[in-house]
Chain A
Amino acid sequence: MRTPALLLLVACGGGDAPRTSVDAAVDAVLSPRAQLIRLSLDLRGVRPTEAELTAVDADPAAYDGYVDAWLRDPRFGDQVEDLYNPVLRTRTANTYEDPAEAGIDAPSWEVAASVGSEPLKLIRHVVEQDRPFTEILTADYTLADPIVAAYWGLPHSGASAWEVVRYTDGRPAAGVFATNTLWHRYPSAGLNANRHRANQLSRMFLCDDYLSRPVTFTREALDGLTPEEASDAIHTNATCLSCHASLDPIAANFYGFWWEKGEGLAVNRSYAADDEGRWSEYFPSPPAYYGAPVSGLGELAADLAADPRFHRCTVQTVLGGLTQRDVDGEKDWEQVQALTDVFTESGFDFRALVAAIVKGDAYKAASFEDRTGERIPVVKTISPRQFSSYLVDKTGYAYTVDGADLLREPELGLVVLANGIDGEFITEPGYEPTVSSAFVIERVAQAAGYRVATIDLNRAEGTPAILLGDVAISDTPDTNAAAFEAQIRNIHLALVGVPLAADAPEVAERLELWRQVFSITSSPTSSWAAVLSATLRDPAVLFY
């Protein structure tokens, strides 16, 4: 049974969002407040302020204004990176080469975080600068912070921020395809002949993974095949050719990045134009892009940027990321096509695409008749990175060891345990709570709760509280019942974003929790830490 107070039935989609049969199948959308929470987490990684929530309560039409404003929020760039990391999978615990060779003296997690971010920062930059999204494949620059600059030997101002820089080794303009990080993440060895890289291009930007195609050899073909002939078969056997005819000419474009293991950083960070022609040692036919001859990597990237399949794939990626589901090019054809039209007609404006998605009813759905829930995100699950951002925003606390945020950096394994990805072994985020994610949230909430309670209850007079501004350390429910109730309500409002109803059972239950913990510990700090910890673990925090 739905709660009518939480629902707002709407008759049509809003603003410039294309309306499809999927939107029409939504029988109820979220309340304006819940819509804004979903939107804020997706566009800024944090929950809205109470002022923002109150504003949209008063005027639900203000939602569209927030879309436009938050697409310009500096934190939107983080979300762009997070949308594309599961595609590029470059944020790993891997540093690839020895940082000491580049004179870098930083913890390995920090090096891995910087190096892994290079192509993601490029994508972010294209979006933030309102460049056509196709520029992610054609840019003649990359992005670097001081670590990336030192690692890859790039000129850099020395400022701590990421900035636009250019490789100086004559590599072609090819956006993310010209970044060292991408090809260290996806190396290739002799027998593989860059096919791994070619397939990654197809998987990432055409949403077509060659490896997902089942291989079925006919008995006749196998009977006539000897192992010595296997290398020829990929050029003659019809089954083999179905992939290799298009894959190999793409692979032939990557020989400028043909690094051999053990050659050292100086070699393995340089593009070797002299090696571009080495494709002929491996393939009988020259570089091409699906039948169209190309002069090299730059032209390959330009052809890909102009390919309508890339434009559709971008829509699939963004729609899938924002709705936490696998978008199927066939099953979701109508929705994907409508959004692709918006994307194309906008001149490949990434923000316009996101706006079209988040303004649609399908994105705002609270209820959908399809019981599988596959096509509509009636509930979404907070990611480890979002939980980290949320926690810092609401409490100022980050769950760190030696400076590494355990909810962000994959090196210590917590990201994976919390249903995130490590980019190498776990490449698909999880959305269903698991035992390990329950433990992560429990421990993080516990630590954050203690910290907030300790600081707030011991703060100097006049110092603003993080969350416990209504009570003093000497208060008890018996001496100051009104303050306790107000405090519990205000904690819930601050952390969940929804006011507790006058008769909400949470008030009495959390008060009882406080009393029980106090009876065991005699510590107001522990008791408030328990209440804060329990509230941070509320499913209304973890789902949105």
Chain B
Amino acid sequence: MPHPNLSRRQWIQRAAGCAALGTFGSLGAAERQARAAAPDKKFLFFFARGGWDATPLDPKFAADGFSAVGGTDMDAGTVLGQSGNLTWSSGADRLAMDTYFANWGSRTALVRGVNVHSVAHDTGEFWALTGGGEDSRPDWPTILAASGSTEYPMPHLVFSGPNYPGRLGAAVVRGGGGSLLDLIDGSLNGQLDENAPSFDPTVDLLIDAHVRSQGVRYGAGRTGLAKIRTDAFLSSLDRASELEGRQFEAGLQDGASGLLDQALMAAEVMRLGLTRCAMIQIPGGWDTHGGNGAVGGQLDDFFSALDQLMDQLARTPGANAEWLADEIVIVAGSELGRTPKFNGSMGRDHWTYTSMLIAGAGVQGDTVAGETDDSFLALPIDLGTGRASGAGVLIGTEHVGATVLTLGDVDPQPWIPGVPAIDALIQGA
């Protein structure tokens, strides 16, 4: 029978006669233990599918703050917004950007002139999140999730938006609502054509323990791929079992649909130690070939949600730090930029240089890293200062990835060999 003082996971592991935790992919328990001394930062990724306009976060105005420059068209009615070192295109249709930067500019960094190495959505998305082109590469949140110092029941929770698990698929849980929740609480079986009663929770636990025991026996002595798969099997059982026991604590049964709801739920499951990373798609039609007019409103919605999220994080006690804002990193971006000049439909086509936003724990706030010229072509930068330098390097998604992994205390070299982080974005680097 389950012991009243043990968690579901502990009980199942003991019942199965195995105290060792399973692991994902190639990451071993020893590696995790070595990292356990430093509590993990958590990462909340926002992704604007379609290729967002990079100019609002990298505005090109003349010195007067509102006149046009030759190489780049700015949206009608916009002027230069500024808070500290940060600048953006401000306008009546995107007032929430002003509010956000006024409130959180000191904790926010902008990255400009990031090369996504493609003008195609699919490829740009892959490069933006993995820094490379091979199919087997996991994306940044998956790597971070699989590299946590502790086992998370839902290491990388994909609410919406892209996911490239590569060889670390066991770290990924897709779907923040809907079928997954019905599966977790077993209610899906009540909706079947042949209604199947749920097991009593204690019976469920006994079966889980038995299955784990089968898994341990199956994996004994296996090596290579067979060991990787068996470890993933055991790990998935452990995490599923823990999630079954904690679903109501996390409020998962309430579901989440909108951007802010999803972000707040992500923050909550991070606070509870259920998740290290989450991915949320930023709503909106960002592929603006046919007209750029809706971009301001979409940015307003996004920054309004971001402002409320940051406010919540700053007022919620953290698990490992005083406030959640001190342990969660926000990363927002897209798979492409858009042409600096409007096309014939007053829209923008695809461009290889994009802008990103990074904020929160460990991020050097009030910082801009990367530069583009008036024609929105990237300039080489000094990675230490983030400013243009003839002796510097042109940055791409791989540099942003190295930076994000470094923020998460993960060595980027095995994943993107030879690519340095942008130190200007990291506190104390």
A residues near B, CB below 8 A?
A: 1-3, 191, 211-217, 219, 222-223, 226-228, 230, 326, 367-368, 370-374, 376-379, 381, 397, 399-403, 412-414, 416-417, 419, 426, 428, 430-440, 442-443, 446-447, 450-451, 505-506, 509-510, 513, 516-517, 520-521, 526, 529-530, 533-534, 537-540, 542-543
Residues of chain B with a CB closer than 8 A to A326's CB: 135-136
Stretch at the interface among B90-98, B190-198, B415-423: B190-198
Contact of A401 with B199 in the complex, beta carbons under 8 Å: no
Extra A-B contacts (13), CB below 8 Å, given A227-B340, A434-B170: A3-B221, A191-B289, A373-B224, A400-B192, A414-B183, A432-B229, A435-B154, A436-B180, A450-B197, A510-B210, A533-B207, A543-B226, A543-B230
Cβ-closest chain A residue relative to B345: A191
Complex CA–CA separation, A325 to B217 (angstroms): 26
Complex CA–CA separation, A542 to B24 (angstroms): 18
Contact of B224 among A216, A230, A372 (CB under 8 A): A372
The 7 A-B residue pairs with the shortest CB-CB distance, nearest first, are A373-B225, A447-B196, A1-B221, A439-B183, A227-B341, A438-B236, A539-B218
Complex CA–CA separation, A511 to B217 (angstroms): 17
Known A399-B192, A446-B199, A520-B203; contact A534-B210, beta-carbon cutoff 8 A = yes
B184 on interface, CB distance cutoff 8 Å: yes
Complex CA–CA separation, A397 to B341 (angstroms): 60
Complex CA–CA separation, A2 to B191 (angstroms): 44
| Per-position binary interface string of chain B over residues 117-129, scored 1 when its CB falls under 8 Å from any chain A CB and 0 otherwise | 1111011000100
Number of A-B residue pairs having CB atoms within 8 Å of each other in the complex: 210
Contact of B233 with A517 in the complex, beta carbons under 8 Å: no
Contact of B193 with A434 in the complex, beta carbons under 8 Å: no
Residues of chain B with a CB closer than 8 A to A367's CB: 223-224
Complex CA–CA separation, A451 to B213 (angstroms): 24
B28 on interface, CB distance cutoff 8 Å: no
Contact of B221 with A2 in the complex, beta carbons under 8 Å: yes
Contact of B119 among A215, A402, A413, A433 (CB under 8 A): A215
Interface centre among A370, A376, A436 (most CB of B within 10 A): A436
Complex CA–CA separation, A403 to B194 (angstroms): 10
Contact of A534 with B211 in the complex, beta carbons under 8 Å: yes
Return 6 A-B CB contacts under 8 Å, by A number: A214-B127, A227-B341, A326-B136, A412-B179, A516-B206, A521-B200
Min C-beta distance of A516 to chain B, whole Å: 5
Contact of B135 with A433 in the complex, beta carbons under 8 Å: no
Complex CA–CA separation, A2 to B220 (angstroms): 9
Contact of A377 with B122 in the complex, beta carbons under 8 Å: no
Residues of chain A with a CB closer than 8 A to B230's CB: 539, 543
B174 on interface, CB distance cutoff 8 Å: yes
Complex CA–CA separation, A83 to B412 (angstroms): 35
Contact of B223 with A371 in the complex, beta carbons under 8 Å: yes
B165 on interface, CB distance cutoff 8 Å: yes
Contact of A540 with B218 in the complex, beta carbons under 8 Å: yes
B285 on interface, CB distance cutoff 8 Å: no
Known A430-B169, A543-B229; contact A521-B175, beta-carbon cutoff 8 A = no
Residues of chain A with a CB closer than 8 A to B24's CB: 432
Residues of chain B with a CB closer than 8 A to A413's CB: 175, 178-179
Complex CA–CA separation, A537 to B197 (angstroms): 18
Known A400-B193, A414-B179, A538-B218; contact A379-B184, beta-carbon cutoff 8 A = no
B300 on interface, CB distance cutoff 8 Å: no
Residues of chain A with a CB closer than 8 A to B135's CB: 212, 326, 428
Stretch at the interface among B237-245, B321-329, B362-370: B237-245
Contact of A443 with B186 in the complex, beta carbons under 8 Å: yes
Known A417-B175, A520-B203, A537-B211; contact A431-B193, beta-carbon cutoff 8 A = no
Complex CA–CA separation, A438 to B167 (angstroms): 18
Min C-beta distance of A521 to chain B, whole Å: 6
Contact of B210 with A372 in the complex, beta carbons under 8 Å: no
Contact of A432 among B170, B237, B289 (CB under 8 A): B170
Residues of chain A with a CB closer than 8 A to B406's CB: none
Residues of chain A with a CB closer than 8 A to B361's CB: none
Residues of chain B with a CB closer than 8 A to A517's CB: 203, 206-207
Complex CA–CA separation, A381 to B229 (angstroms): 8
Min C-beta distance of B377 to chain A, whole Å: 6
Complex CA–CA separation, A526 to B183 (angstroms): 20
Contact of B207 with A215 in the complex, beta carbons under 8 Å: no
Contact of A378 with B203 in the complex, beta carbons under 8 Å: no
Residues of chain A with a CB closer than 8 A to B381's CB: none
Complex CA–CA separation, A225 to B102 (angstroms): 37
Complex CA–CA separation, A21 to B229 (angstroms): 25
Known A226-B341, A413-B179; contact A434-B173, beta-carbon cutoff 8 A = yes
Cβ-closest chain A residue relative to B198: A446
Residues of chain A with a CB closer than 8 A to B198's CB: 446
Contact of A520 with B200 in the complex, beta carbons under 8 Å: yes
Contact of A539 with B197 in the complex, beta carbons under 8 Å: no
Contact of B153 with A432 in the complex, beta carbons under 8 Å: no
Complex CA–CA separation, A222 to B183 (angstroms): 52
| Per-position binary interface string of chain B over residues 154-183, scored 1 when its CB falls under 8 Å from any chain A CB and 0 otherwise | 100000000001011110111100111001
Complex CA–CA separation, A227 to B178 (angstroms): 44
Complex CA–CA separation, A505 to B119 (angstroms): 58
B334 on interface, CB distance cutoff 8 Å: no
Residues of chain A with a CB closer than 8 A to B119's CB: 215
Contact of B349 with A230 in the complex, beta carbons under 8 Å: yes
B384 on interface, CB distance cutoff 8 Å: no
B272 on interface, CB distance cutoff 8 Å: no
Contact of B179 with A417 in the complex, beta carbons under 8 Å: yes
Contact of B340 with A539 in the complex, beta carbons under 8 Å: no
Interface centre among B127, B219, B225, B228 (most CB of A within 10 A): B225
Complex CA–CA separation, A539 to B117 (angstroms): 42
Contact of B178 with A534 in the complex, beta carbons under 8 Å: no
Contact of A442 with B196 in the complex, beta carbons under 8 Å: no
Complex CA–CA separation, A227 to B172 (angstroms): 40
Complex CA–CA separation, A450 to B289 (angstroms): 55
Contact of B165 with A443 in the complex, beta carbons under 8 Å: no
B189 on interface, CB distance cutoff 8 Å: yes
Interface centre among B172, B211, B217 (most CB of A within 10 A): B211
Min C-beta distance of B132 to chain A, whole Å: 9
Complex CA–CA separation, A378 to B169 (angstroms): 18
B393 on interface, CB distance cutoff 8 Å: no
Complex CA–CA separation, A399 to B118 (angstroms): 42
Min C-beta distance of B186 to chain A, whole Å: 6
Residues of chain A with a CB closer than 8 A to B188's CB: 443
Complex CA–CA separation, A376 to B224 (angstroms): 10
Contact of B133 with A433 in the complex, beta carbons under 8 Å: no
Complex CA–CA separation, A445 to B31 (angstroms): 35
Residues of chain B with a CB closer than 8 A to A447's CB: 189, 192, 194, 196
Residues of chain A with a CB closer than 8 A to B208's CB: 442
Residues of chain B with a CB closer than 8 A to A521's CB: 200, 203
Cβ-closest chain A residue relative to B121: A211
Contact of A431 among B196, B229, B377 (CB under 8 A): B229
B232 on interface, CB distance cutoff 8 Å: yes
Contact of A438 with B174 in the complex, beta carbons under 8 Å: no
Contact of B133 with A212 in the complex, beta carbons under 8 Å: yes
Contact of A417 with B174 in the complex, beta carbons under 8 Å: yes
| Per-position binary interface string of chain B over residues 349-386, scored 1 when its CB falls under 8 Å from any chain A CB and 0 otherwise | 10010000000000000000000000101000000000
Contact of A379 among B1, B225, B339 (CB under 8 A): B225
Known A440-B183, A539-B230; contact A433-B170, beta-carbon cutoff 8 A = yes
B408 on interface, CB distance cutoff 8 Å: no
| Per-position binary interface string of chain B over residues 19-58, scored 1 when its CB falls under 8 Å from any chain A CB and 0 otherwise | 0000011000000000000000000000000000000000
Residues of chain B with a CB closer than 8 A to A513's CB: 206-207, 210
Contact of B174 with A534 in the complex, beta carbons under 8 Å: no
Contact of A217 among B133, B194, B203, B352 (CB under 8 A): B352
Min C-beta distance of B389 to chain A, whole Å: 15
B215 on interface, CB distance cutoff 8 Å: yes
Contact of A509 among B179, B210, B341 (CB under 8 A): B210
Cβ-closest chain A residue relative to B181: A439
B5 on interface, CB distance cutoff 8 Å: no
Complex CA–CA separation, A377 to B225 (angstroms): 8
Residues of chain B with a CB closer than 8 A to A539's CB: 214-215, 218-219, 230, 233
